[in-house]
Each structure stands twice: as C-alpha cells, then as structure tokens.
Amino acid sequence: MKNEKTYVFVPGGWHGGWAYDPITDRLGQLGKKSISLTLPGLEAHPCIQDKIINLDTHIQFVIDILVEGNFANVILCGHSYAGLVITGVADKIPERINALVYIDAYIPKDGDSCWSLTSDVYRDRFVTGASNDGFTVAVPPGADDRRRPHPLATFMQSLHLNGNYEQVLNRTFIYLSGWEGSPFVKQYENLKDSQDWNIETIHCGHNVMRECPDKLVDILYRLEDKYS
C-alpha cells in the first residue's frame, strides 16, 4: 500500500534493537510493519573500530538503513538517548519521516548533546563509566546481560541541525512518570501545554518496553491513525 507506514525503533543507551522485541512482536500481531535497529558499537560483538563512533555515526547509520531500504512514511521512534539520533535523521531526510516519537527521550535543538541535556547523575555515570578505556561507557547495574558498553563520543558530541527536522509536524513525547531521578521532568513540564506536540503519559519506569509494552503499543497504534 502506498500510504502504509513503517515503525522504525532506535534504542537508547547501552541497548540494542532487541529492547523493542515486545513492541515489534505486538505490532506484528496487529498487522503493522516495524523494524528495530542496533546502532554501531552496540552489537553483540563490536569491532575495534567502534572506538571512534560518535553521534554522527549513529545518525548516518539510520539514514542509510532508511534510504537503502527505500522506507517512506516512517514513524521514527527513539528511546532516551536516541532522541538525538532521530532528530538528526529527520533533519537530513525529513521527506521520509511521517512522525517523530520521543519515548522518554531527549528533544534537542541545534548545539545540544546528550551531555548538555541530561542530569548531573547521568553525567557522573558517563564519566565514571568511561574510566575503563576512555572510549566507551560501561554498562550500568542491571539484570539484562545483552546490554553493551556505549560509545562515549555519542553522548558527548553536539548535534548540528539546519532546521529541516521542523518540517516533520507530527511529533509526540511519551513521558514515563514512574521513576525517580528522571531527567525528563522539566522537558515534560515545558511541553505539556504545547499546541505543537502530542503528549502522552505512562506511569512506569524508564524501560517502558519491558514494563508496560501493551500501553506503549496502544499509544503507537493510535498515533498511526492520528497522523494519517
């Protein structure tokens, strides 16, 4: 179908495309087309060249996937750190993007970085986590052993935007309100009354894909109709 939309999911820090399995499985059962990506450096067995990966690398990787696969009408979804990635992608190929969905994710402007947008707690985590090799940020405490050290430069590099991303008028921020120390509280407060944004709230922790997948899928499913 010409107007069929594709959900494209980009994971946050330390995670791979597997983080979205509960979401893509459910969307598939609903007859929706979706793919989830593992960004360079976050593969199960990254190579030595991954030490030089930065934010531009991640943005270009997603662009190449969308262009080479001839994807259009994309509902581009990013979790946490990936808010910077999806914004950068939309700035380069806005014509392929139907909607941007920030899942408890940073919403940057020109010159912002994950470092500049996040909280002191996470800045300390980046610094401490990079002390091992200076190139990657160690995996934080947690139970999932699929997570991988995250390329430090992707957190540090500033995002350079020319404004094309503003052509994508369909924008949603999904605020996850059930975790302490969230760096997204102020962002939510700034956006909640905006006429330019669709704001959704799920009361759960930061990893909504694991904790409340059905609620996230319900929102995403409704967005497809809203943005048709």
For the four alpha carbons of 182, 187, 190 and 195, in that order, the dihedral sign comes to negative
- Indicate left, alpha or beta for 128 from its phi (over 0: left) and psi (-120 to 50: alpha): alpha
Taking only the tens place, the pLDDT of each residue in 117-155 is: 999 999 999 999 999 999 999 999 887 999 999 999 999
Taking only the tens place, the pLDDT of each residue in 74-88 is: 999 999 999 999 999
What's the pLDDT band for 48 if we cut at 50, 70, 90? low
Contact present, 92 and 68 (Cβ < 8 Å):
no
Residue 200 lies in a domain: yes
Domain that holds residue 45: 6-226
3-state DSSP call for residue 48?
A: helix
Query: What tokens does 173 get?
Result: 């921020």
Greatest Cα pair distance, the chain, in angstroms, is 50
The rounded Cα 179 to chain-centroid distance in angstroms is 18
Residue of 164, 168, 170 lying closest to 91 (CA atoms): 164
Residue 47 pLDDT > 60, yes or no?
Answer: yes
Residue of 35, 15, 30, 37 lying closest to 217 (CA atoms): 30
What's the pLDDT band for 4 if we cut at 50, 70, 90? confident
pLDDT at 1: 44
pLDDT at 187: 97
What is the helix (H) or strand (E) element at residue 174, kind and residue range?
A: strand 171-176
Taking only the tens place, the pLDDT of each residue in 187-212 is: 999 999 999 999 999 999 999 999 99
Q: What is the CATH number of the domain that holds 152?
A: 3.40.50.1820
Backbone angles phi, psi at 136, to 5 degrees: -125, 155
Residue 1 lies in a domain: no
Alpha helices in 113-184 (DSSP H): 114-117, 120-129, 152-156
Number of domains in the chain: 1
pLDDT at 49: 53
First to last CA, the chain: 13
| 138-146 long-range Cβ contacts below 8 angstroms, 24+ apart | 139/14, 140/14, 146/15, 146/16, 146/18, 146/44
Residue 81 lies in a domain: yes
What's the pLDDT band for 184 if we cut at 50, 70, 90? very high
